[in-house]
Amino acid sequence: MLFARKAHFFSRLTPTLFPEGEREIEQSFAYNSRGVASGTPIGFLGLGAMGAAIVVRLMKAGFQVTGWNRSEEKAAPLRAKGMSWAASPRKLAASCDVMISILTDAKALEQVVAGPDGVLEGLRPGAILADMSTISPDSSCALAAKVQAAGGTMVDAPLSASLATLESGQASIMVGGDAHAYEKLHPVLLAIGPKVTLIGANGQALYVKLAINLALVVQVVSFCEGVAMAEKAGIKREVAVDAFLKSVVASPVLGYRGPFILEGRMPETAWADVNLQQKDLLLALELGRKLGVALPTAAVANEMLNAARGMGLQDRDFAVVYEVYRALGGMR
């Protein structure tokens, strides 16, 4: 009877929280009795652009979020919306059984979790940490072992999304780690995005994330290459871009990132700047070297990112490689 009442409560609640296309969340809250319920305190580490957008979605779904960020001023807009603040990762961990992190790289994550005043110093017994950072699988697994030794569970839960797809509720999340932890996290992750997949053991979701990011960069670079050739042949750039986005090569990533190469359309704040995207691509290339897998198109795409950095474009969205092609083609 109690379970039926909970299901009825969430079936009435969730349609007001989530737009059309996110009904998977309703099912999770209503039927997953082992999962974390709405209203549960969630600790969040890392309040950059993606982290902040995730926190907003969690709060809209009814979760109580306590946040931490290295620079406290980034938390101000979220605190104004109701997010609580923890003075350190240790204090955050001491107040939450479920935590999510999304940080720049493995070094930053190691410091926040295992460093002084870090998560491990305040970790509650049985607590779960879902890390959404894009780092090497080996680094993630090594840190997961430290969390386990301290009495908790860490899973890798990388996010496949741009800021636009995240905010519109179309993010995809892959999870590697303990199946029981995954079941508990599932409703939380569905509040972030409607496509959540358990890949396998610790580290395996990161293998898939690096493979996806590799394909993403190669696709955007090849798109820039094709449009640059068309422009050199005398086709107006906007006409070429429109034709590409109506063709068989159109894809979600080209749909939102392709127009960036038009005059005046490059965002002032990069969604994924050249340095950040190259970090992910280098992780994939190193993984390919370790596994003995040839990644020739990824290697060429990496050289185009090198060239963009050489032109001083490292802070722009990585679609700026179009300017590299224009320079090579004598169009600038």
pLDDT at res. 6 = 36
- Please give the Cα distance from 147 to 114 (Å, whole number): 8
Given pLDDT bands bounded at 50, 70 and 90, which one contains residue 30? very low
| Residues 89 and 122 sit within 8 Å (Cβ to Cβ) | yes
- Which residues touch 239 (CB under 8 Å, ≥6 apart)? none
- Which residues touch 246 (CB under 8 Å, ≥6 apart)? none
> What pTM was estimated for this model as a whole?
0.85
CA–CA distance from 322 to each of 89, 241, 259, 282, 311 (Å)? 40, 12, 11, 20, 12
pLDDT at res. 33 = 39
Residue 52, pLDDT above cutoff 60:
yes
Supply 199's token pair: 């890949």
**Is 272 or 40 the better-scoring residue by pLDDT?**
272
Q: Which domains does the chain have, with CATH numbers?
A: 2-201 (3.40.50.720), 207-328 (1.10.1040.10)
pLDDT at res. 37 = 58
Q: Which residues pair with 42 in a beta bridge?
A: 65, 98
- Chain segment 134-160, per-residue pLDDT in tens: 999 999 999 999 999 999 999 999 999
| Residues 119 and 129 sit within 8 Å (Cβ to Cβ) | yes
Residue 21, pLDDT above cutoff 60:
no
